[in-house]
Structure 1
Amino acid sequence: MKRSLRLSLLALLALAPAVQAADLLVDNVNGYTLDSHGKLQHFQALLVDQGKVIATGSHAELASRAGDAKVIDGHGKTLLPGLIDAHGHVLELGYARNNVDLAGTKSLDEALAKVKAYAAAHPEAKWILGSGWNQEIWKLGRFPTAKELDTAVADRPVWLSRVDGHAGWANSAAIKLAGVDKASKDPNGGRIERDAGGNPTGVFVDGATALIDAKVPPPTPQQKAAALDTALAEMASVGLTGVGDAGIDLANYELYRQYADQHKLTARIYAMIRGTGDDFDTISKDGPLIGYGNDFLTVRAVKLFADGALGSRGAAMLAPYSDDPHNRGLLFLKPAELTAEIGKALGKGYQVAVHAIGDHANREVLDSYAAAYKTHPDGIARRNRVEHAQIVSLKDIPRFVPLQLIASMQPTHATSDMNMAEDRIGHERIKGAYAWQRFLKQGTIVAGGSDFPVESPNPFYGLYSAITREDHAGQPPGGWYPDQDMTPAEALRAFTLDAAYAEHAENTLGTLEPGKWADFILIDHDIFKDPASKIWNTKVLQTWVGGKQVYAAQD
């Protein structure tokens, strides 16, 4: 009898959930995550130990396993995996916020007033620098001019990057300092905007921006650190726990290493080295840097450029622009040059990510990948990427599959560009533009991003655009070319699991599965049950990276 009772007790103990080593229980949440197959899962509690997920499940199940873990009451709020922006520019975000920020200005006069006020507040600044202007929003029908900028600041050089980073606006002092005049030739891959007499009018497109950039004093170490601090704080506040930084130099690399060593990174950085020149040679001498500082810094990709941007008509098109019949945009490299750069990066063991906006640029990129794979056949498995893949010929979209390319796309570009995109390229070519479903249906991975500070770093803007293809006023009703919109689960996947996959990190990031890093956010409403119109206005309440809180909203 005693032996039978003892065996029964042992059997019951074996069935009872074991108390597990854990240091954090996030309880009473409306939790969502994808599983490794991309299927949406729901849970009430999240159990974490040493920064990694032990389990998700019901309150009853995980509370019994939590032991002495610290308990966070989620008060029924929605919990999501931390969001990953597959393509942003971290220091540029910080500089944009710390310098003249023209993003969102509605008119030329408003922008000039901002420049004038900033200059007055910074009399010590030798140059007035800024970014974010967009002549399309101002409805100018043309680029702004140096003479107009002179009315705001004439005593110092002013240099303002366009919202897409592919053009710059200079005042007369900056143009004079750079030595640019009527006799100056357009550089390869660039264009100086001119008046009827051939004189520079103040805007420099793509490769021509280097003429002014060469005279701008480089940022000091203090300015770089301040920019990184500003960017990290904003990223945390909007729920970004990771970002693919699309184009860093050696100084940026060294700053990231320093911050990782000092445990000051509050988001995971997947950095792409800009180009295959001297900085690449220095950074890559010991091969890719993977998972540095507890997976806070990885440098295993190279960013290349094939063309410019649509808004400045620098995107390289197969046929002329519909609204500028003498212009096909700008290709930055000859096909053989692009193939060589891809081959150099692949040969050193790096993933390649190539910026391509126009259909001509995208075709050149596809051709160059195919050519590079002939000499580097192992490179095809490197999860190479086309950054933007914004306007692709319908004949070329299927080529992404055999080339095993990831389409790294930014949903907010569609809703920002819809006011001018069809004017630029016409009704037929628009069918291959911002064509998310055409890629998804053929099995191509779509990694979601924003290209911040070109767009807002707020990933809920991207989720909203992906799902609705409407602007924040709900226009156009039903969405712009709605056949290409994403489901809520597809959109979440683009900014979590597939963004992680694009970084070779789907086994450690992107979902809240056991063994992965506990990167998660709490938000103020249920994006899967509430009207889609609310998504862009989502408020992030808390952001956690590796089981540590890095942001809390102020009440």
Structure 2
Amino acid sequence: MKSILYSLFLALLFTSCAKKEAVDVIVYNARVYTVNSKFDTVEAFAVKNGKILALGRSDEIKDQYAAKEEINAKGKAIYPGFIDAHAHFYGYGQSLQTADLRETKSWDEVLTRLTDFARTHPDGWLIGNGWDQNDWDNKAFPTNEKLTALFPDRPVFLNRIDGHAAIANQKALDEAGIKSEQKLAGGDMLTQNGKLTGVLIDNAVALVERKIPSPDAKLAEKIFMDAQQNCFAAGLTTIDDCGLSYLTVEFIEKLQQSKKLKIRLYVMLSDEPDNYTYLFNRGPIKTDRLNVRAFKVYADGALGSRGACLLHPYHDMPDKTGFLLSDQKHFEEVAAKIAANHFQMCTHAIGDSANRVILNIYNKILKGKNDQRWRIEHAQVVNAKDFNLFGNASVIPSVQPTHATSDMYWAKQRLGGERLKNAYAYKQLLKQNGWIPLGTDFPVENINPLLTFYAATVRADAKGFPKGGFQVENALTPEEALRGMTIWAAKANFEEHEKGSLEKGKLADFVMLDHDILKSMPQNILKTKILKTYLNGEKVYEAK
């Protein structure tokens, strides 16, 4: 009798299992933010062939599907993989190979760090990144006498945090053939008592930078691999890399084809003749991990180095208004040919003058509402009369919330109180089209997307300053911020039908956090840790 009952039990068990569809992964016992149109939450989902197959209650999913891997989330929050809508992935990887000068408190500290770095990197150009004179007691730009004295026979090139200024020692200036001040459009070489200080602004930076040798294939691969590792650890699954050459894109393709580079990249080619020729002839590049259909154009520089182009003089330097990096005719011609070839134009614009120039060109080309999704990158200072130019031509403001909380210490000095009211105005910009993509601009800012979420919603820095927030009328809600880091960022890349939310048929890119940032108290958001990151249903990161 027992044998018959046991056989019957096995038959029922096998029958039950046979009815279940085989899948690759089941996630259950979770709080899953789908970020769909209704912002629904579910408990579980099943993944097959790298895509979401079904979502629902834990018991429903486990009853219908049998998986090779089951993940018991134990009540943890799960979100779509974070998308950084504006960053410099390759540049970030490069910065990991150079002297880290971020958060230095003086020029002397910069020199100390550089000297320490040079001991373990004795050959070739000495490169550093991340200094910001606004963080120092003496907020004036440094001069290069000490730099030249420390390294008289080795070229040294140190990028400012925003990448729109740098300081070079005399050996580096000599390598570039710069003997005295040169007048150039869209750039400046600072002098003191008629002598070059080594500080280069915007277009002047390239005069020295182009002399730095390109990395060989081995180092280039390490640059990408190091950047990928850190992005996955931050919960990032797609990065918009703003401004690469077509040769770098071809190297990315090789790394992805070899399965070494797994992260998804949305690449904007830089504003160079060879890049236009290449992509116009080849056409858009689209795989599940690489999308190249846009061009990155620079209208002006940065506010911190006073290269941002303003309608009226800087509040703290009345003889300067900044400058456009090219004449207006160039931007008009570039916009016309990008439109004629059906690509996306993404333009860096910081100052209110630069934003006005580019917005007027966009409106002329786009002629009203459209779905071309041309973007203004940063949209940092906008004149009150110009906000409507975003909505009128469906122009997408692509913003980086941590810029507001980094710049707030000195932005009023640059702009004055009245003009500051229309700076970092993310809520005003959101209203123009009803959606807004968010990024970090790393390595200019920290890679961590949770800082983006915090800065967007709390409008404070990591120390909780200022109490009550900075211009909180422009804070985003937690739902808006999460959408900006996921589905709206995907939409800015024409990818909202394949990623950015956890819905049936979409890519199984997701991240598990140890706390629910949508329900956390503000002070706890930055204590949240990334537990696991999945790409295509494959685990690419797990916290130790």
Q: Under TM normalisation by the shorter chain, which class is it? A: over 0.9
CA distance in structure 1 between the partners assigned to 2:22 and 2:326 by the alignment: 55
**In the alignment, does 2:15 pair up with 1:22?**
no
**In the alignment, does 2:84 pair up with 1:85?**
yes
Deviation at 1:380, TM superposition (A): 4.4
**Equivalent residue number for residue 156 of structure 2:** 158
Residue-by-residue CA offset, 1:251-299 (whole Å, 9 max, x unaligned): 2111111122112223210000101411221233121112x1xx10000
User: Is this contact kept in 2: 1:383–1:404, CA < 8 A?
Assistant: yes
Residue correspondence of structure 1 range 502-513 to structure 2 within 5 A: 502-513=492-503
Secondary structure in 1 aligned to 2:65? coil
**Equivalent residue number for residue 175 of structure 1:** 173
Question: What root-mean-square deviation, in Å, do the aligned CA atoms of Structure 1 and Structure 2 show?
Answer: 1.7
Relative to the length of structure 1, the TM-score reads 0.92
Aligned length: 528
Residues 1:21 and 1:343: Cα distance change in structure 2 (over 3 Å): farther
CA distance in structure 2 between the partners assigned to 1:534 and 1:155 by the alignment: 49
Deviation at 1:40, TM superposition (A): 2.4
**Equivalent residue number for residue 355 of structure 2:** 362
**Equivalent residue number for residue 485 of structure 2:** 495
Residues 1:443 and 1:381: Cα distance change in structure 2 (over 3 Å): closer
Secondary structure in 2 aligned to 1:381? coil
**In the alignment, does 2:473 pair up with 1:483?**
yes
Bigger shift: residues 341-350 or 297-306: 341-350
User: Is this contact kept in 1: 2:390–2:432, CA < 8 A?
Assistant: no
User: Is this contact kept in 2: 1:339–1:371, CA < 8 A?
Assistant: no
Residue-by-residue CA offset, 1:413-466 (whole Å, 9 max, x unaligned): 000000111110111111111101111223343110001100011111111100
Residue-by-residue CA offset, 1:475-534 (whole Å, 9 max, x unaligned): 101100001001111100100010000000000110001110010011111112221122
Q: Which of 230, 241, 245 pairs up with 2:241?
A: 245
User: Is this contact kept in 2: 1:160–1:170, CA < 8 A?
Assistant: yes
**Equivalent residue number for residue 345 of structure 2:** 352
**In the alignment, does 2:46 pair up with 1:42?**
no
CA distance in structure 2 between the partners assigned to 1:550 and 1:404 by the alignment: 36
**Equivalent residue number for residue 459 of structure 1:** 449
Bigger shift: residues 296-305 or 254-263: 254-263
Residue correspondence of structure 1 range 134-283 to structure 2 within 5 A: 134-182=132-180, 184-197=181-194, 199-283=195-279
CA distance in structure 2 between the partners assigned to 1:217 and 1:495 by the alignment: 35
Secondary structure in 2 aligned to 1:64? helix
Secondary structure in 1 aligned to 2:175? helix
CA distance in structure 1 between the partners assigned to 2:483 and 2:137 by the alignment: 36
Identical aligned residues as a percent = 39
CA distance in structure 2 between the partners assigned to 1:346 and 1:102 by the alignment: 40
Deviation at 1:246, TM superposition (A): 0.5
Moved over 6 A (4+): none
Q: Which of 307, 329, 334 pairs up with 1:314?
A: 307
**In the alignment, does 2:111 pair up with 1:112?**
yes
Residue correspondence of structure 1 range 117-128 to structure 2 within 5 A: 117-123=116-122, 125-128=123-126
Stretches of structure 1 lacking an aligned partner (at least 5 in a row) = 1-16
Deviation at 1:369, TM superposition (A): 1.1
**Equivalent residue number for residue 11 of structure 1:** none
Tell me which amino acid in the other structure corresponds to 1:77: K
Residue-by-residue CA offset, 1:328-367 (whole Å, 9 max, x unaligned): 0010122221011011122222111000000000000011
CA distance in structure 1 between the partners assigned to 2:411 and 2:257 by the alignment: 44
CA distance in structure 2 between the partners assigned to 1:222 and 1:79 by the alignment: 36
Secondary structure in 1 aligned to 2:392? coil
CA distance in structure 2 between the partners assigned to 1:442 and 1:180 by the alignment: 46
Tell me which amino acid in the other structure corresponds to 2:536: G
User: Is this contact kept in 2: 1:19–1:67, CA < 8 A?
Assistant: yes
**Equivalent residue number for residue 32 of structure 2:** 31
CA distance in structure 1 between the partners assigned to 2:210 and 2:294 by the alignment: 26
CA distance in structure 1 between the partners assigned to 2:429 and 2:442 by the alignment: 23
**Equivalent residue number for residue 402 of structure 1:** 392
Tell me which amino acid in the other structure corresponds to 2:118: A
Deviation at 1:44, TM superposition (A): 1.6
Q: Which of 498, 504, 507 pairs up with 1:514?
A: 504
User: Is this contact kept in 1: 2:363–2:389, CA < 8 A?
Assistant: no
Residue correspondence of structure 1 range 433-448 to structure 2 within 5 A: 433-448=423-438
**Equivalent residue number for residue 300 of structure 1:** 293
CA distance in structure 2 between the partners assigned to 1:104 and 1:152 by the alignment: 22
User: Is this contact kept in 2: 1:168–1:204, CA < 8 A?
Assistant: yes
**Equivalent residue number for residue 3 of structure 2:** none
